[in-house]
Structure 1
Amino acid sequence: MKSYQEQLATLEEIRSLMQRSSRFTSLSGLSGVAVGLLALAGTGLVNWHLNQQNLLYQDVYQGRINQETAIFLVTVVLSLFILAVGSVLLLTGLKAQKSGQAIWHHQGQRLFSNLFIPIAVGGLFCLILLYHNILYLVAPCMLIFYGLALIHSSKYTFSEIRYLGLGEIALGLLACFQIEYGLIAWGMGFGGLNILYGALIHYTYERNGSNL
């Protein structure tokens, strides 16, 4: 007859296998760190450009910017988005390959579809805000929709991602009231919170070579 400890070990292994079959556990924590560093670099780049143009962030959300600055801001945001998505897919793909979990298997498909649909809707909504020249809500809405996407997809991967989403939403809502701090909130949300989350996932699940 198996001992109590052996039975516990068996039950723990069964639980782990069930979680692996229902959740995508190859989402890389290092990708969160990479996204956060990119966001901080982008925030610094935007701040540098505004200083070079003798502009303040309030000039941006009040629409008092020239075409050169507008093009620069759009280029930075699009570049950061492409680099961030590429970093997530690359690092997550490498981790999935190492753990033997296909990134485009049904767990991965459910995760990324539930993640990117709210992000796509949020991107379109931000374009609508730009079309109507409501610039002061663009940065807060990016945080809010990103947070909603994280919460919506959290049931398909690590549960900790839900708390990251709540933090992003909280920062976005605060930035809706204090719009002069929109750039700082954007940097804290996409930068600082992503780095903290990524480091937590890496040291909790990945450092010892385990996904769960």
Structure 2
Amino acid sequence: MTQPVVPSCTTFEGHRRIATGSLQANALAARRALEEGATEPVLIFDDATGRLIDIDMRGTDEDTAESLPEGVQAQSADFAGAGAAAVEPRGRGRPKLGVVAREVTLLPRHWEWLATQPGGASVALRKLVEEARRANGEKDRIRKAHERAYRFMSAVAGDLPGFEEATRALFADDPRRFDELVCAWPCDVRDYATRLAFGGSEPAAALAQ
């Protein structure tokens, strides 16, 4: 059994990074910043997508934890049961492929060609999709990295000098030019944007509060 994936997030108070790690840890760090009278926006970002995560900060720490997405609340239970589930013996018969039925609209000549392929239309379509994923995998990875960096930059760095030029360098996939344009930005913003856009070392699991 595959071990559940723990979402990684990062929280900023204005231009200063105050937490990196699990969503629970970031939610609590954001609460602390607000309770201590933060004067800058406190924003939580999904490291995988660069999207903002909206969390209800009202009430107690327990209330905040309960307001998190159901899958995140269940992480502890999932990890606790992962070890036991991993050693359960697999039953007899063919393994489940996890396929999902969806409607596909094709021209008649496409259906005719698929009907002649070994294994039928479904097998042929799966092979075509996998081949396309392999062929375009690197392009897709770069595009997604640029998009997640842009989401973060738009939310936090829109008022910083060189933002528009840095955005053009980002989508031109020009890391050297990007570095030149963001070098004067606050270090936390610069480093996080660069990591989202072009990779690099992962941040620490959590920052000291």
Higher strand share: 2
TM-score norm. by structure 2 comes to 0.27
- Which is greater in Rg? 2
